A and B are shown apart, each in its own frame.
Chain A
Amino acid sequence: MTRRIHSRLDPRDPAFLANVEHNRALARQLDERQQAARFARPERDLQRLERQGKMTVRARLEQLLDPGTPFLELSTLAAGESSYAADAPGAGQMVGIGIVSGKEVVIRADDSSVKGGAWYPLSVKKIVRALDIAIENNLPVVHMCDSAGGFLPLQDQFFADRYGAGRIFRNQSILSKKGIPQVALVLGNCTAGGAYIPALSDYSVIVRGTGAIFLAGPPLVKAATGEEVTVEELGGADMHTAISGVADYPADNEMQGIAITREIVSQWRQRPKAGNAAIDPEPPAYDPAELYGILPADSRVQFEMREVIARIVDGSRFHEYQPAYGSSLICGYAHIWGQQVGILANNGVLFSDSALKGAHFIELCDQNRTPLLFLQNITGFMVGREYERRGITKDGAKMIMAVAGASVPKISINCGASFGAGTYGMNGRAFDPRFMFSWPRSQVGVMGAEQAADVLSSVKIRQFEREGRELSAEAIAAIRDPVIADYKRASSAWHATSELWDDGVIDPLATRETVALALSAALNAPIEDPHYGVFRM
């Protein structure tokens, strides 16, 4: 039995109570944003779906999943801060990991309730990410297709680039090549590029009357060749399943289509999980709800990460590695829902010793086949002459080398701050965490808002000074304040998740369950043997 963390929290402390208020309000805001992205649709759009005999994407999901099983939804607030937020709630895509016929699968669905499920630039990013998740974690995919195709006015932002729409079809092909099955359920139009989603899926089901697959719809065909043809003739269920062979199974209606899809998934083989055997789970000894009291309302105030760990891990038990060395980075082993994890958590800026400790601990976990959990609250590496002379950059490079090279699954949570090279050392998005989530209070950027505002406004201030104009404190504030506001917006969790820099914003209280589901998904892929690049000594 591993030792428990001894909490020093005082729930009667006024600061604790103020923090609770602040963090509850943030959690409410998260909930409201998610509810809106999932369910708030114009009445006329819902009526149109009903006229077409279509279910909403959420109703389809409910029928697809095994009843009573958890669904780990990803990037619910994608595109939420974009210029087309109102036309593409959740980027017009619903993505998550759920249980279908007893198997963990990635579910990706077009949401045709607004703008016919058109693909905007961030829709494409979300679809490509969903398929990257399937590739990295060996997860089969269920597509629920119902999209009018790419949103033409913005095509320059989602088509030609490496991670443009073509990447969707490349990823589908790679999945098939790796023996990871996909099924496409066609519930509406699959036009132009979208037609290739069912065509590149190993299995496809198409619903009579509403499902259609074609490279060009009837109006475009008429314009091109003068041919007049109905939707059903051109790309309906009976034509494709009996004549063209583009789709495999006809379905009489959406419910039957979902039932056939579930039957297909039930045929797929169950693969053994990777990693070490789990132990019996144990709830944390300290109430996770106290997390709200720990996280400071003022983002400049540091907080004790052991208090956070105590409210996430089984039994609040934590075997701390090197408890006396490099104390600004906490490293140690714990279990989450019975599965062992190696935790790296920031308790201050990174120094040479903390970076070395982190690199060493990552290698230990890799050898022990223990997945890694990064709890980020990092403003960066220590600066100054003494630290440069002691080679802080090469020690940071060692940590980055270890993070990038680790073979075990890595999961990251941005708990507060993720800035500069600290983001790299702590397994930021660029280091391929299998999953990455943000707490509503978190910020991510090259540097903090205050420092960035100083750098950005000092350029302007010097320009004024060169012109011989002296600036009052008010004038400086007038330059600096809008810069801070703009920078804060662009480094907020809402912006980060809108741009898919993470896989979703989560309520801190949901962290334990979210990490458990993400770990379970990640362990579907075998873990390579440890091997690394050259560590600069």
Chain B
Amino acid sequence: MQHIFEIGGVEHRLWLARSGEGYRLHLDGGEATIALANGRLRIDGVETSIHVAHEGDRLFIHIGGDSHELLYQDPVAHHAAGAGRGSQDVLHAPMPGVVVALSVEEGQAVKEGDILLVIESMKLETAIRAPRDGVIETAHLAVGKSFERDAPLISLAPLEAQA
């Protein structure tokens, strides 16, 4: 699987394969021989000076008088279908317990990470947080109600419905 970088909102796919003293660059269907040493980048025999800095997944490159910002795309995150946890509509109880606090009401808009309710189980309090931005469709249980594991606690309005 090739690496994916984003430059100015455009995705580029590339792979470096070892080749002699340097590397063979496979980029967007094309190929070139490259080598990097002492701040000098050689592409198919043509040498340029290059400065690279990085912060997290962002790379800042100064080359040939121009600056570029590259964003590395993590492959697992990039290929996620968006159908997993992030977009789930119904939050289920991770363990049996009792609702000790309900912080939202139906119709209320919430942000990812907001505390929706607090449950108590085995003498421990656990905050249930919003997995994504959305609107509360149903709060299934009132404060003081007990529930089994996997019982629905909160339903968020489906994303399509909001659009």
Could you list which residues of chain A lie within 8 angstroms of chain B, going by C-beta atoms? 1, 3-4, 8-10, 285, 298, 300-302, 327-328, 348-349, 351, 379-380, 382-384, 448, 450-451
Q: Given contacts A298-B125, A327-B94, could you give 13 more A-B pairs where the C-beta distance is less than 8 Å?
A: A3-B76, A8-B113, A10-B113, A301-B124, A301-B126, A301-B127, A348-B95, A348-B121, A348-B124, A349-B122, A349-B124, A351-B149, A382-B96
Pairs A–B under 8 Å by Cβ, sample size 23: A4-B56, A4-B74, A8-B113, A9-B113, A285-B56, A300-B125, A301-B124, A301-B127, A328-B94, A348-B95, A348-B121, A348-B126, A349-B122, A349-B124, A351-B149, A379-B123, A379-B124, A382-B95, A382-B96, A382-B122, A383-B122, A384-B96, A448-B123
Residues from chain A with Cβ under 8 Å of B57 in the complex: 4
- Contact between A1 and B74, CB atoms less than 8 A apart: yes
- Contact between A302 and B77, CB atoms less than 8 A apart: no
Distance (Å) between the CB of B141 and the closest chain A CB?
18
- Contact between B123 and A302, CB atoms less than 8 A apart: no
> Closest residue of chain B to A8, judged by CB?
B113
Chain B interface size range: 10 to 19
Residues from chain A with Cβ under 8 Å of B112 in the complex: 8
Residues from chain A with Cβ under 8 Å of B124 in the complex: 300-302, 348-349, 379
> Closest residue of chain B to A381, judged by CB?
B122
- Contact between A349 and B121, CB atoms less than 8 A apart: yes
Residues from chain B with Cβ under 8 Å of A298 in the complex: 125
> Closest residue of chain A to B95, judged by CB?
A348
- Contact between A302 and B74, CB atoms less than 8 A apart: no
**Alpha-carbon gap, A9 to B112, bound state (A):** 10
**Alpha-carbon gap, A349 to B126, bound state (A):** 11
* B129 CB–A CB distance under 8 Å: yes
Residues from chain A with Cβ under 8 Å of B121 in the complex: 348-349
- Contact between A351 and B113, CB atoms less than 8 A apart: no
> Closest residue of chain B to A449, judged by CB?
B123
Distance (Å) between the CB of B69 and the closest chain A CB?
18
Residue B122 contacts which of A1, A8, A301, A380 (CB distance < 8 angstroms)?
Answer: A380
Distance (Å) between the CB of B149 and the closest chain A CB?
8
Residues from chain A with Cβ under 8 Å of B74 in the complex: 1, 3-4
Residues from chain B with Cβ under 8 Å of A327 in the complex: 94
Residues from chain A with Cβ under 8 Å of B113 in the complex: 8-10
Known: A3-B77, A285-B56. A328 touches B123 (CB 8 A): no
Residues from chain A with Cβ under 8 Å of B149 in the complex: 351
Residues from chain A with Cβ under 8 Å of B123 in the complex: 300, 379, 448, 450-451
Q: B64-113: which residues lie under 8 A (CB-CB) from chain A?
A: 74, 76-77, 94-96, 112-113
Residues from chain A with Cβ under 8 Å of B129 in the complex: 8
**Alpha-carbon gap, A4 to B58, bound state (A):** 14
Residues from chain A with Cβ under 8 Å of B126 in the complex: 301-302, 348
7 closest cross-chain pairs (CB), A and B: A8-B113, A302-B126, A301-B125, A349-B122, A302-B124, A379-B122, A3-B76
**Alpha-carbon gap, A9 to B113, bound state (A):** 8
> Closest residue of chain A to B55, judged by CB?
A285
**Alpha-carbon gap, A349 to B94, bound state (A):** 10
**Alpha-carbon gap, A379 to B125, bound state (A):** 12
> Closest residue of chain A to B125, judged by CB?
A301
**Alpha-carbon gap, A8 to B94, bound state (A):** 19
Distance (Å) between the CB of A375 and the closest chain B CB?
16
- Contact between A351 and B95, CB atoms less than 8 A apart: yes
**Alpha-carbon gap, A300 to B57, bound state (A):** 37
- Contact between B95 and A328, CB atoms less than 8 A apart: yes
Distance (Å) between the CB of B123 and the closest chain A CB?
6
Residues from chain B with Cβ under 8 Å of A302 in the complex: 124-127
Residues from chain B with Cβ under 8 Å of A382 in the complex: 95-96, 122
Residues from chain A with Cβ under 8 Å of B95 in the complex: 328, 348-349, 351, 382
> Closest residue of chain A to B111, judged by CB?
A10
Distance (Å) between the CB of A330 and the closest chain B CB?
12
**Alpha-carbon gap, A352 to B60, bound state (A):** 48
Distance (Å) between the CB of A288 and the closest chain B CB?
16
**Alpha-carbon gap, A327 to B123, bound state (A):** 19
Distance (Å) between the CB of B31 and the closest chain A CB?
23
Distance (Å) between the CB of A317 and the closest chain B CB?
10
A1, A10, A351, A451 pick with most chain B CB within 10 angstroms: A1
**Alpha-carbon gap, A382 to B95, bound state (A):** 9
Residues from chain A with Cβ under 8 Å of B56 in the complex: 4, 285
Distance (Å) between the CB of B121 and the closest chain A CB?
7
**Alpha-carbon gap, A302 to B122, bound state (A):** 11
Residues from chain A with Cβ under 8 Å of B127 in the complex: 301-302
Distance (Å) between the CB of A258 and the closest chain B CB?
45
**Alpha-carbon gap, A349 to B120, bound state (A):** 12
Residues from chain A with Cβ under 8 Å of B76 in the complex: 3
Residues from chain A with Cβ under 8 Å of B122 in the complex: 349, 379-380, 382-383
Chain B 33-66, CB-CB to A under 8 Å as 1, else 0, gives 0000000000000000000000011000000000
> Closest residue of chain B to A315, judged by CB?
B56
Distance (Å) between the CB of B57 and the closest chain A CB?
8
**Alpha-carbon gap, A60 to B124, bound state (A):** 47
Residues from chain B with Cβ under 8 Å of A384 in the complex: 96
**Alpha-carbon gap, A8 to B113, bound state (A):** 6
Distance (Å) between the CB of B105 and the closest chain A CB?
20
Distance (Å) between the CB of B150 and the closest chain A CB?
11
**Alpha-carbon gap, A285 to B56, bound state (A):** 7
> Closest residue of chain A to B129, judged by CB?
A8
> Closest residue of chain B to A383, judged by CB?
B122
Residues from chain B with Cβ under 8 Å of A10 in the complex: 113
Distance (Å) between the CB of B122 and the closest chain A CB?
5
**Alpha-carbon gap, A379 to B95, bound state (A):** 13
Residues from chain B with Cβ under 8 Å of A348 in the complex: 94-95, 121, 124, 126
Q: B110-140: which residues lie under 8 A (CB-CB) from chain A?
A: 112-113, 121-127, 129
**Alpha-carbon gap, A10 to B113, bound state (A):** 8
**Alpha-carbon gap, A8 to B127, bound state (A):** 13
**Alpha-carbon gap, A142 to B60, bound state (A):** 50
